[in-house]
Structure 1
């Protein structure tokens, strides 16, 4: 396939075509106006000559005047080389002729011209003519007057005007094309800068941005959209790099543990119980790796929109009480109470919503001080349902709150020591809630951390 015409060339050609079309219309209108003006002048000239002839005939009232009529006609038309004249009596006899050879042969033979103004060509010249009948006062008989007018000079002038118009239109179209190309080239400069910036973009140079100051209004939205795209690309690449580093960091510990324990076990011969202990320890590390891989696969599914949609009405209070029973032993071991209040119905996948709430409750139990209470509250707010999970404990720093839902992120080393989680639970919770059309936020102040889950009510989901 051949190379397509550039946008600059297309705009230049379009500008030239529009200019040429406009000039053609103007030229046609102007040409017809000039032609109509010449026709009007010629008709006026013929009418004037016929009036002159009629006046001379009306003054021919005597035999002497009739004898001098040819001389008077010659005198009247002295210097009128463009005029042809033929006078016939009622019997068809020619009584006066002036440059009669300019008339067509049919009129010379006595045939009358068509009514009105007639046109003909002869000898490379163009003529218009008119035939009239005037009475002769002396005899009372009619006289046929055939008058012709050479309009070749008018035709040549019109041809010259048309030729010059075409040359002028062609030159103007070329100039318009050049000006259009220049204007389009300057106007599309922001697009060329967009192309140049996009060509410079690499995985290592995602911080390039387009300038919006000199961009015209028609291109500014495109520039803003592309800058937003570059921003999202940079953030995505940054998250991908951080995610890869986090995966390597998280997998390094269990893999290192497995290698160390295996090397120690193989360093010398051991008994059956010792090998069983090593295998049990390795199994714990394998389970940790398996949970981490499963969680990462789950997050990948949420990013690709493969989570199931809302399929049933979920009674949140029932799910919360079921989770309280499940975590009751762990809470008792840690010396922590769990209190729940409120109820509401939402539309969604029961197992996924239970997993999201379970992650929040598990996180709260890990970080709640002994002897304190984890409060779970369900309430209505306008057309939404708000489920809050609050636990007293260490306050999360404000700079960590914005990143707490990121993968593998922990609010601090002190919180990392509280459990063996990989840092994916809150990221999974956010993905599940987002898949149900809701949102999850967190606030931490004065030793109290509260996670707020907002979901549409059952009728709006």
Structure 2
């Protein structure tokens, strides 16, 4: 298995490679610049000698002066210890040539224009020469131009460049190693906050979700990541807390009916009974089983809302829902219970929303059932529908004992009861009705809240209007 490079190693390697590339390019540029400088220096020196030779040859007007020309050129050109000279006469005979130097014949065969504009370099033994050649006419019109070649021994240039390049590339190597080491040190220091984040994150467990990463002490690039991680930890902490509370509530809620069933069953089995007694016990057990079935069904529905299944289902079954018609249908359903408790049901307004009709009916039913449970005899439950361009509002208001303000924010939590003793005494409900209503409203991109003042409790659902209706 190939071991992956760490982030420190990757950045260090990238920094070292980049530094080496820059240093190598710089070394090549320096090498090229110095070499060009030496070429220009040699060209200027050779051009000066050519001017002297052109001046001397241009003054030759008679054969007698031509015979003295080698002496004149030797005096004019041989003044530099590294300079070598060759002068060819009109018939390409050698008039003057430095000893022990072999001038390349291929160079002489080139055209006059090419030889006059370019420097030529050749090697002879252990020495290297750089020179130029030009055709120079005399004052004798019938004669062919003379060919003058001057060159300079560049051994001292090459020795200097060899030493310089050794020093330069040694420096480049050392500089690359130093920059790599400096890059590693810088990366280690720069990633220290990331390691601190890792150490702090390693301390986060299911029982220590209150740990947070230090945002203020981090650089801006990591501060955003730390802030996102802190927000994630806050969400996880909240989810774990709700899950823990939910598990405790489930155990508490299931314990009572299961205990009742076990007690009644054990009592019934303790001694023989007649058929009527067994039937009464089975009917009582059936009521407990129905309550357990409702609770399990509600818990399954809420579990689906947590994973978004109900939202997808509602989107599939979305239709235009006439809220007025749905509320009146619920009034008919609860009419017998309302008459038994001497409670009056009143509806006003109208509204149409887009959503799942059965789910919205269930949410409204939970609110009406809750209102009927707590409305005193002779009271009136008022349901008001309001339509605007922005939203549709359903208000379910009933008289009765006010709910303390500290309970209002938690009414829609699972298994939460503002009056646990009363709920347990009546045996009605499972503590999940308002939580289901909240989940359904949220799945429809709406809001639900409760207010309770001066003996009036009001639950409000606010939903977006239909897409095709201006007034809901």
1:100 CA drift (Å): 5.1
Aligned equivalent of 2:233: 230
Change over 3 Å in CA distance of 1:439–1:32 after alignment to 2: same
CA shift at 1:273, angstroms?
A: 1.2
Whether the 8 Å CA contact 1:367–1:418 is kept in 2: the answer is no
Shift of 1:420: 2.1
Report the Cα distance in structure 1 between the residues aligned to 2:40 and 2:128, rounded to whole angstroms.
16
Counterpart check, 1:428 vs 2:436: yes
* Cα distance in 2, alignment partners of residues 4 and 17 from structure 1: 18
Which whole-Å deviations, capped at 9, do the CAs of 1:65-123 have from their partners, x for residues lacking one?
7666555544445562211111222122222222351423557xx75675232221211
Q: How well do the aligned residues superpose, as a CA RMSD in angstroms?
A: 2.5
Instruction: Give the CA deviation at 1:239.
Output: 1.1
Does residue 132 of the first structure (1) align with residue 137 of the second (2)?
no
CA contact (8 A) 2:53 2:77 kept: no
In 2, distance between residues paired with 1:290 and 1:23?
78
Provide the C-alpha distance between the structure 2 equivalents of 1:90 and 1:398, rounded to a whole number of angstroms. Answer: 123
| Higher mean displacement: 85-94 or 160-169 | 160-169
- Equivalent pair of 1:366/1:419 in contact (CA under 8 Å): no
Task: Kindly state the Cα deviation for residue 59 of structure 1 after the two structures are TM-superposed.
Answer: 5.8
1:336 to 2:343 alignment: yes
Name whichever of 87-96 and 361-370 sits farther off: 87-96
Separation of aligned partners in 2, 1:262 and 1:153? 115
Distance of aligned partners of 1:363 and 1:354 in 2 relative to their CA distance in 1, 3 Å threshold:
same
| Aligned position for 1:158 | 161
Q: Label 1:139 to 1:309 Cα distance change in 2 as closer, same or farther (>3 A).
A: closer
Report matched runs for 1:243-254 at 5 Å: 243-254=246-257
Q: Is the 8 A contact 2:348 2:384 kept in 1?
A: yes
Q: How far off is 1:30 after superposition? A: 3.0
Residue number among 379, 401, 412 corresponding to 2:386 in the alignment: 379
Instruction: Give the Cα–Cα distance (whole angstroms) in 1 for the partners of residues 168 and 319 of structure 2.
Output: 79
Checking the alignment, whether the CA contact within 8 Å between 1:103 and 1:148 is kept in structure 2 is no
In structure 2, the partner of 1:144 is 147
CA distance in 1, matches of 2:285, 2:91: 139
**Deviation string for 1:236-264 (max 9, x for gaps)?**
11111111110110011111111111222
**TM alignment of 1:31-430, pairs within 5 A:** 31-58=31-58, 69-77=69-77, 80-99=80-99, 101-104=101-104, 111=109, 115=115, 116=117, 117-137=119-139, 141=143, 142-307=145-310, 308-310=313-315, 311-413=318-420, 415-416=422-423, 417=425, 419-430=427-438
Give the C-alpha shift of residue 38 in structure 1: 1.9
Residue number in structure 2 paired with 1:447 = 455
**Deviation (angstroms), 1:21:** 2.4
Give the superposition deviation at 1:226: 0.7
| Native 8 Å contact 2:59 2:138 kept in 1 | no
Q: Is 1:28 matched with 2:7?
A: no
Superposed displacement of residue 385, structure 1: 0.7
Moved more, 362-371 or 77-86: 77-86
Q: Is the 8 A contact 1:129 1:149 kept in 2?
A: yes
Q: Secondary structure at the match of 1:309?
A: helix
Secondary structure of 2:176's counterpart equals: helix
Aligned length in residues: 459
Give, in whole Å, the separation in 1 of the partners of 2:165 and 2:314. 74
- The DSSP-based 3-state class of the residue aligned with 2:314 is coil
Q: Distance in 2 between matches of 1:381 and 1:418?
A: 40
Q: Distance in 1 between matches of 2:177 and 2:395?
A: 73
Unaligned runs of 5+ in 1: none
CA-CA distance at 1:229 after TM superposition: 1.0
Relative distance call for 1:244 and 1:106 in structure 2 (3 A) is: closer
Distance of aligned partners of 1:174 and 1:397 in 2 relative to their CA distance in 1, 3 Å threshold: farther
**C-alpha separation between the residues in 2 aligned to 1:239 and 1:189?**
35
Give the whole-Å Cα distance in 2 for the aligned partners of 1:401 and 1:168. Answer: 76
CA deviations over 1:368-417 (Å, ceiling 9, x no partner): 22222111111023321111111122222222112111110001335534
- What CA distance in whole angstroms lies between the structure 2 residues aligned with 1:302 and 1:138? 113
Following the alignment from structure 2 to structure 1, what is the Cα–Cα distance between the partners of residues 12 and 92? 67
8 Å contact from structure 2 (residues 396, 459) kept in 1 = yes
Give, in whole Å, the separation in 1 of the partners of 2:70 and 2:81.
Answer: 17
Distance in 2 separating the partners of 1:179 and 1:269: 92
Distance 2:99 2:406 in 1: 110
- Distance in 2 (CA, whole Å) between partners of 1:220 and 1:190 is 10
Deviation at 1:364, TM superposition (A): 1.0
175-184 or 319-328, which moves further after superposition? 175-184
**Whole-angstrom CA distance in 2 between matches of 1:333 and 1:390:** 19
Q: Is the 8 A contact 2:452 2:458 kept in 1?
A: yes
